Chains A and B, each alone.
Chain A
């Protein structure tokens, strides 16, 4: 199941937030942190609130720009360093390689649920019919009734929105997935579906980094539990 192809190679990254509005106060969060993840692995980050789990995940997505170190991801057969990549290279990595399930769905006004889920597939160049078919499959599997597909998810419940979010990212079958509490607001049945989706992804060779508090999901998906505090020098 696990092969050794390195997908994520984080080397010695440091991230300090400088808060200009609070007199330039410095908030060091990561210091010389390193992490390697291979294809088919699911690494779950562990640590107290404020230990840097989210900072690491956002650095992996390219949203946070570490002051030092490298965040290399396997993209189109090469390791691309997000720390030095050009913005449009990062966008290309996100389009084809890197999926991120955030805690909350960022709702785009008026866009239907089906289109939201199909969008990443379409930006990858799939034709519209195929993208919608796969989007429908995922929504069905996650228990979003067909009658809701034409509606924008703005008025959906938290759990429904989260399932739309998950469908959107899993439909595109990215080789690298970042998951931030993917099952937090789901009932047991839906959580079970997400666990299956994650397992399916792993068996395809997807490298996964997750933040999961909920013990059942964590136990079900994790291949390696990594305490963030031990990734580098103590911050």
Chain B
């Protein structure tokens, strides 16, 4: 490689148990700038727990999560001050939830939802907030006239697009997505996937996408990790994992879908 780079995120030996039941077992991986990493596996494989640990929504039992900040100073999120960690979550990280109700303020307008992160980092100019919200609405293909409408008046696909806009507005360097297309109709899914794909390219964000849908993984991810029983059983480029699966479990996953 011509450019000397550091990983954006380096996870080392991460473990998390619920009581006696291990949910994430000794997981290590690196995420590079601009890379989209897919985490696939069935329900209960630990992929969502891993994502929640990365986002600081769950405390980890052991391991390190080293993030290279925009300021160029890597910090271990496991031991970092909570204030620093929460600040990063509001600025340099984004989190797109499977259920938009968990990721949106349902009682506030689309414009307020988009502007919240900006206000949280100190933007105090109403007119600017408004025009930024407008440009993000159009970036996620929503009509501008819906800017003052409540999310509950939107379709599921629109809610999810709004959630994406709300996250990307601070130009995060890393976005975590938990089943971003789950629960949507197939045609709505396709549009959302295309949008995510385009925005990720356009804004050069790195992303970790948790999905059980290998088609979603094929379309979005450069690289895949396959999880089973809390462990990473296989990883590689997306086409390597899907077209030449090595592990028994991955072969089962790939053979269980019609076409991925």
In their complex, do chains A and B touch, with some C-beta pair under 8 Å? yes
> Are A110 and B222 in touch, CB under 8 angstroms?
no
- Given A87-B237, A89-B1, A110–B248 Cβ distance below 8 Å? no
Q: Number of residues in B with C-beta < 8 Å to the partner? A: 25
**Which label, helix, strand, loop or mixed, suits the secondary structure of the B interface?**
helix
In the assembled complex, A88 has its CB within 8 A of some CB on chain B = yes
- Report A87 CB to chain B, min CB distance, Å: 5
- CB contacts (< 8 Å) of B255 on chain A: these are 21
Within 84-100 of A, Cβ neighbours of B (below 8 Å) are at: 87-92
Smallest CB gap from B224: residue in A: A87
Identity of the chain B residue whose Cβ is nearest the Cβ of A119 in the assembled complex: B201
Say if the beta carbon of B190 comes within 8 Å of chain A: yes
Inter-subunit contact A87/B223 (CB<8 Å): yes
On whether the beta carbons of B190 and A58 are closer than 8 Å, the reply is no
Q: With an 8 A cutoff between CB atoms, is B101 at the interface?
A: no
**Which residues in A have their C-beta under 8 angstroms from that of B219?**
108
- List A residues 76-129 near B (Cβ within 8 Å): 76, 87-92, 108-111, 123
Interface check A20, CB cutoff 8 A: yes
Verify A91–B194 contact, CB threshold 8 A.
no
Give the complex CA separation of A126 and B218 in angstroms.
Answer: 25
Please tell me if the beta carbons of A91 and B197 are within 8 angstroms of each other in the complex: no
The segment out of B20-28, B68-76, B239-247 that lies at the interface is B239-247
Tell me the chain B residues, 168-208 only, with Cβ under 8 Å from chain A: 190-191, 193-194, 197, 201
Stretch at the interface among A5-13, A62-70, A171-179: A62-70
Instruction: A87-B237, A108-B194 given; name 15 further pairs at CB < 8 Å.
Output: A17-B244, A18-B246, A21-B251, A58-B244, A64-B243, A65-B236, A65-B246, A87-B236, A88-B223, A91-B222, A109-B193, A110-B190, A110-B191, A111-B194, A123-B201
Task: State the CA gap A17–B2 with chains docked (Å).
Answer: 34
Q: A92-B1, A109-B190 are in contact. Are A20 and B251 (CB under 8 A)?
A: yes
B35 on interface, CB distance cutoff 8 Å: yes
A19 at the interface (CB under 8 A from B): yes
With A21-B252, A91-B237 already in contact, the answer to whether A109 and B191 are too (CB < 8 A) is yes
A141 to chain B, nearest CB (A): 27
Instruction: Report the minimal beta-carbon distance from B224 to chain A, rounded to whole angstroms.
Output: 10
Give Cα A225–Cα B240 distance, bound, in whole angstroms.
28
Question: Taking beta carbons and an 8 Å cutoff, which residues of A are in contact with B?
Answer: 17-21, 58, 61-65, 76, 87-92, 108-111, 123
12 A-B residue pairings within 8 Å (CB atoms): A18-B246, A20-B247, A20-B251, A21-B251, A58-B243, A63-B244, A64-B244, A87-B222, A88-B1, A88-B35, A88-B222, A91-B237
For residue A58, which residues in chain B have a CB less than 8 angstroms away from its CB?
243-244
Q: Does B154 contact A (CB under 8 A)?
A: no
Contact code string B102-145 (vs A, CB < 8 Å = 1, else 0):
00000000000000000000000000000000000000000000
CA distance A21 to B251 in the complex (A): 7
CB <8 Å contact, A62 and B237 = yes
Q: A87-B237, A90-B237 are in contact. Are A76 and B197 (CB under 8 A)?
A: no
The CA-CA distance from A58 to B246 in the complex, in Å, is 15
Chain B minimum-CB-distance residue to A61: B239
Q: Which residue of chain A has its CB nearest to the CB of B33?
A: A88
On whether the beta carbons of A62 and B240 are closer than 8 Å, the reply is yes
In angstroms, how far is the closest chain A Cβ from the Cβ of B2?
Answer: 7
Bound complex: CA of A87 vs CA of B243, how far in Å?
A: 15
Whether B222 lies near A65 (C-beta < 8 A) is no
Assuming the contacts A20-B248, A21-B255, asked whether A88 and B32 have C-beta atoms less than 8 A apart, the reply is yes
Residues on A with C-beta less than 8 A from B194 are 108-111
Residues of chain A within 8 A of B248, CB atoms compared: 20-21
CB closest residue in chain A, given B7? A88
Question: B221 → chain A, closest Cβ, in Å?
Answer: 11
Q: Does A65 contact B190, Cβ atoms closer than 8 Å?
A: no
